[in-house]
A = this chain, B = another copy of it.
Amino acid sequence: MDIEDKYFKNISSRERAIFEGAITMGALFHQFVGTPVNSKSAETLEKSIKEAMELQPCIEEVQVKINRKMLEDANSEFNYVSLNGDMMDIKVVSRYNNKKAVLRMEYIDKLMYPLMYVEEADE
């Protein structure tokens, strides 16, 4: 079966890059939020998230930075916290054919919300 022809010919390459990047952004957030994490385990968790999410269709690169200062500030006496969206800065680079999209999630103080948006997308 030609998947591309059957399911994806109604959107452009740029739209496909945005579509696949956005799926991965939503997936990443909801898969890993809640994971126990502290300063020692953060680097391995970042690497694991990156490797997992780069497997998804059309994903070229995923960068995840877990805010070390927030890890320490949020620290309970149990010496770890549950990962939440406020602690993460994420970049997802997706590509379909020759069109690349860069998607981003970052916590916006004024919104009190981890906002996902398209940082750039090839015309």
Residues in B with CB closer than 8 Å to A27 are 26-27, 29-30, 36
Q: How large is the interface on A (under 10, 10 to 19, 20 to 34, 35 or more residues)?
A: 35 or more
Most B CB within 10 A of own CB, among A24, A44, A47: A44
Query: Could you tell me which residues of chain A, from 50 to 95, have a CB within 8 Å of some CB in chain B?
Result: 51-53, 55-57, 76-80, 82, 84-85
Query: Could you tell me which residues of chain A, from 11 to 38, have a CB within 8 Å of some CB in chain B?
Result: 11, 14-15, 18-31, 33-38
Q: Which residues of A contact B (CB under 8 A)?
A: 1, 3, 7-8, 10-11, 14-15, 18-31, 33-38, 40-41, 44-45, 47-49, 51-53, 55-57, 76-80, 82, 84-85, 108, 110-113, 115-118, 120-121
